[in-house]
Structure 1
Amino acid sequence: MQQPVLTRKIKPFQLVALVFFTVSGGPYGLEPLLNYAGEHAAFLILLVTPLLWDVPAIFTVLELNSMMPVTGGYYKWVKHALGPRWGFYEGWWTWIYTFVDLAIYPVLFVTYASYFFPGIEAYRIQVCLVIVWLSAILNILGIVPVGRTALFLGAAVLSPLIILIVLVIYQHGDNISIPSQTLNGLPFSSFGIALYTVMWNCLGWDNVTTYAEEVETPVRSYLISSFAAFALVMVVYFFAIMAAQQSGISHSSFLEDGFPALGEIVSGRWLGAILAIGGMASSLGIYAAVLLSVSRVPKAMAGDGLLPQRLNVLHSRFQTPYVSIIICSIVVSFMILWPFAELLIIDVTVYGAGLSLEYISLIKLRITSPNVKRPFKIPLNVAALCMVLILPFGVYFIALAGAFASTPKSIQAAIFAICILLTAEVAWRLVTWRKPHLKRS
């Protein structure tokens, strides 16, 4: 059945807000870094990891998206380059990873809301469910309302952080200094979890491409928005951790109580309060933006016959994949029962596997389709690309090894993530059992 043409599209400045929230949403969630890495390694890990982990991903996404700016994004790229089986793996892994990712943000919202309502933890599940289903309604209304909401929440996130950073710089003036940075003496398990923390706070660059057909001038818009968002994320992260380091807050207190506790140390309860509001806004904005991206993947897979056709149906009024949105929200409603630390490890591990297929697809298409138009092309040949892409793979496996060298709960989370990856083959066999022709395509 032919779907109606989407006429309401978001503008580049709204896309910047969506990219910011999909990838980051501010430094809320970065608090464990100082506790694991310490002052003498935190800035080194914070600045080097995105260069090795994010920059290759950003350039890969920009090139592939310039070739195929279509609904489904990364799933369509992998399917086109590697065939239906690996395309299914990509869609399946990223769909599951996003369930895990989404489950984190309602929990973070409750954490920051507890600053105002200390007893809210007793109602954590109920509050999380309200957030899940209000975000589902917002996404069913369409990408434009989500984009406008992201702009508003972006202001609510960044304003308190700017106030915090300005006050810290004013108070410490010429005494601001960054401790010498080294990995010497940092236990490997702590290094691995610190890597996971930064990687989780900087992932999702490919997620924003799943609704490319709903963006005005997508190739240009994604190019500008991705670089603008990356610069914004790195500046905010650096100064936020610098503020924590200069304030003298204990690493354990920062880990447990977050930015509101930092705000109280810097300038009293009023700053702690607005930073808590910023944390709540960050959680809401990230959730809505990530749900927007993931809901387009099962729709695209259903359109290719890899998932039930019902997932390909658009809402009669809002032209949104409402069935996919509802199913995602149902699954996340159960995932919120997981603890935060374990969700983070599962999240990054599953996401990294999907991202690796995008890197392989980039190389494959460079070899098999060298003459296809690429409005944006990474200025490297195939051999140089292969060398560069070793870097994110290295970061990924070091972090995974660190999880296995850490606490029993971290090991359990890593093993569970690997088991999740293996479910893709089980699901693929079920699909091809019902549709044998897919094996030959």
Structure 2
Amino acid sequence: MENKGNVIGQDGVAGLKKHTMRPIQIAFLLFCLVAAGAFGIEDMIPTSGPGLTIGMLVVFAIIWAYPICQIVSELSALMPSEGGIYVWVKESLGEFWGFCMGWWGTISIYLSSATYVVLIVGYAADFIPELKDPFISFVVKFAIVAFFVIINLMGLKEVGTVSTVLSILILAAFTTVTVVGFANWEYNPVQPFMPEGQSIIDSLGGSICLVIWMYCGYECVSNMAGELENPEVIPKGFKIAMPLIALSYILPTVAGLVSIGSWEKWGTEGIGYGDVLTQCLGYGWGVAFLVIAIASQAAIFNSYIAAGSRGFFVMADDRLCPKFLVKVSKTRGVPILAILLLGAITVLMMNFNFSTLVTILTPLALMVYVVLGIALLKIRKLYPVEERTVWYNKGGKIKIFVMALLPMMIAVLGLLVNGTEYFLLGFISIGSAVVFYIIFKVSCGGLYKINPQEYPINYKTRLAKGDIQRIGVYVLAFGIYAIVGSLFLSWYEGDWGPEYYLETYGSGLQSDFWLMIKTARIGGIIGAAAGTALLLIGKKKDPV
């Protein structure tokens, strides 16, 4: 139900319309943000082997998804603010790091939204050949974007309704796959555990980024927490969503392997979950499942518009993005221009292919989890649990430290094993946060415009006091990371990397493995030196 007592007509966060939602609605929204089906896991099976794939789905649900769910639940309960991760980091680490977190999270959602539109049309083209025509494909993609933008302009309640309906359809489809698969059990689902002749490192490395990706997105729901009349439902929703998502991955995968086997032929372009129904029940069931695959991508896209549009909206309310983005619909109480901007960017980005978009967004998404753990530890010091009246994670300091550290370590590992080209290009996408922070801080004023006493600026740089040091820490950290990463990748990919990248890319920087390593190493040395210099200058000229 909507809260009829909200103030209508204001712009910014204060003008948003609030809604009451049930835990199951939050769970379905999370399901759409994170999973919306097991699509994508097919590629893990031939790469890592059926046994290891199932093992990774179980283990990463525990060491990756569970800590993230617990962190987001605790911080959402303590600070149920619109903007979620941006607000948490701003409150714990300051304006600069808050902007970086908001930038990484929002840009990754913007790019992710475009990938799902590309996938929707890609799946549909399998049985509608006309969609392979570039013009027809663009028109259909544009219509999809327009449709879901309109739903989001109607309000969060409508977004939740669509997410619920699509979630039920997707879960019903994968439940059918599970039941039919187990009813036709013929093969051992964990044999072989790994591909013959492949080491455990190669088997893990080939799929670790994909399994991380499959369990990403839990934090996105926090972007809309300020629109909930009863934000205490968020931790309750997580208790439903986390096991639901893990089971929706594990059970259909096992069912598919035991019923049709052929593990080495699985993949997004090969055998998939729909083949369980096609082989066991008939062709029509497979076509119906393909429709569910399209609905899956639509569900994610719909929920990502809602989550992504709130990022820059809240930052604009803090004068860290252009002011026009704070515009709120007087009738619907939604950030109208922020939603339209996300739709427009999606239309532009959907013309890129899937791999290009993923190359750019993956480092941004993983950086969110590195900083999220740091924010939890800092907030624990700022807001002792003994003084709280809301839900928090029970346990001692060691448990909380491990909970924060696990996602950080796995995210860093994911950045390294994702590939040298991803590692190198990641510095550009991640570094964009500093560039745009300086641009927007100088042009829009930042938090100084709202509270100059609490957020003073350095009148020479027009940045916040101490920002030279903060930027120095940022540059130094990534300089060291580039050096260490180049050494790791030389060991990890040195035997096969040169041949692989030359064959994959043909020409240019990405085709030359050792040139990429050299670039990372030299760039790291320069970054470490520049970061150190900024720190020294900042301590003298720009003290915190």
TM-score (norm 2): 0.75
More relative contact order in 1 or in 2 (CA 8 Å, sep 6+)?
1
Alignment equivalent of 1:215, drawn from 211, 228, 232: 228
1:297 partnered with 2:311: yes
* Consecutive unaligned residues in structure 1, runs of 5 or more: 405-410
> Greater CA deviation, 182-191 or 104-113?
182-191
> Greater CA deviation, 362-371 or 92-101?
362-371
Alignment equivalent of 1:323, drawn from 311, 333, 337: 337
What secondary structure, in the 3-state scheme, does the structure 2 residue paired with 1:422 have? helix
Residue identity matched to 1:71: E
Deviation at 1:439, TM superposition (A): 0.4
Alignment equivalent of 2:431, drawn from 393, 417, 422: 422
CA contact (8 A) 1:342 1:413 kept: no
Alignment equivalent of 1:241, drawn from 244, 253, 256: 253
Deviation at 1:151, TM superposition (A): 1.3
CA contact (8 A) 2:111 2:361 kept: yes
1:71 partnered with 2:94: no
Higher Rg: 2
What secondary structure, in the 3-state scheme, does the structure 1 residue paired with 2:127 have? coil
1:439 partnered with 2:464: yes
Please name the residue that 1:403 is paired with. Answer: 418
* Cα distance change, pair 383–12 in 1 and its aligned pair in 2 (3 A): closer
* Cα distance change, pair 198–372 in 1 and its aligned pair in 2 (3 A): same
Residue identity matched to 2:217: G
> Greater CA deviation, 365-374 or 94-103?
365-374
Please name the residue that 2:407 is paired with. Answer: 392
CA contact (8 A) 1:37 1:186 kept: no
CA distance in structure 1 between the partners assigned to 2:400 and 2:360 by the alignment: 28
Please name the residue that 1:334 is paired with. Answer: 348
* Cα distance change, pair 269–414 in 1 and its aligned pair in 2 (3 A): farther
Please name the residue that 1:55 is paired with. Answer: 66
CA contact (8 A) 1:291 1:325 kept: yes
Please name the residue that 1:256 is paired with. Answer: 269
TM-score (norm 1): 0.91
**Per-residue deviation, residues 275-312 of structure 1 (Å, max 9, x unmatched):** 10111111111101111011111111111111112111
CA contact (8 A) 2:373 2:408 kept: no
Superposition RMSD in Å:
2.3
What are the residue-to-residue correspondences of 1:27-426 with 2, within 5 Å? 27-122=38-133, 123-172=136-185, 177-179=189-191, 181=193, 185-186=198-199, 188=201, 191-219=204-232, 221-246=233-258, 247-257=260-270, 258-370=272-384, 372-373=387-388, 375-404=390-419, 411-426=420-435
CA contact (8 A) 2:90 2:99 kept: yes
Give the percent of matched residue pairs that are identical in Structure 1 and Structure 2: 23
CA distance in structure 1 between the partners assigned to 2:302 and 2:332 by the alignment: 16
Deviation at 1:335, TM superposition (A): 2.1
Deviation at 1:346, TM superposition (A): 3.8
Alignment equivalent of 1:9, drawn from 20, 23, 30: 20
* Consecutive unaligned residues in structure 2, runs of 5 or more: 1-9, 449-456, 458-462, 467-544
Residue identity matched to 1:185: Q
Please name the residue that 2:486 is paired with. Answer: none
**Per-residue deviation, residues 142-193 of structure 1 (Å, max 9, x unmatched):** 01111111111112212221122111111227x6653364699346455334
**Per-residue deviation, residues 311-357 of structure 1 (Å, max 9, x unmatched):** 11101211110111111112222222333345345433211211222
CA distance in structure 1 between the partners assigned to 2:207 and 2:357 by the alignment: 15
Deviation at 1:401, TM superposition (A): 2.3
CA distance in structure 2 between the partners assigned to 1:382 and 1:339 by the alignment: 45
**Per-residue deviation, residues 68-121 of structure 1 (Å, max 9, x unmatched):** 111111111110111111110011111111112112211221232123213322
CA distance in structure 2 between the partners assigned to 1:380 and 1:232 by the alignment: 24
* Cα distance change, pair 300–46 in 1 and its aligned pair in 2 (3 A): same
CA distance in structure 1 between the partners assigned to 2:121 and 2:279 by the alignment: 22
* Cα distance change, pair 4–99 in 1 and its aligned pair in 2 (3 A): closer
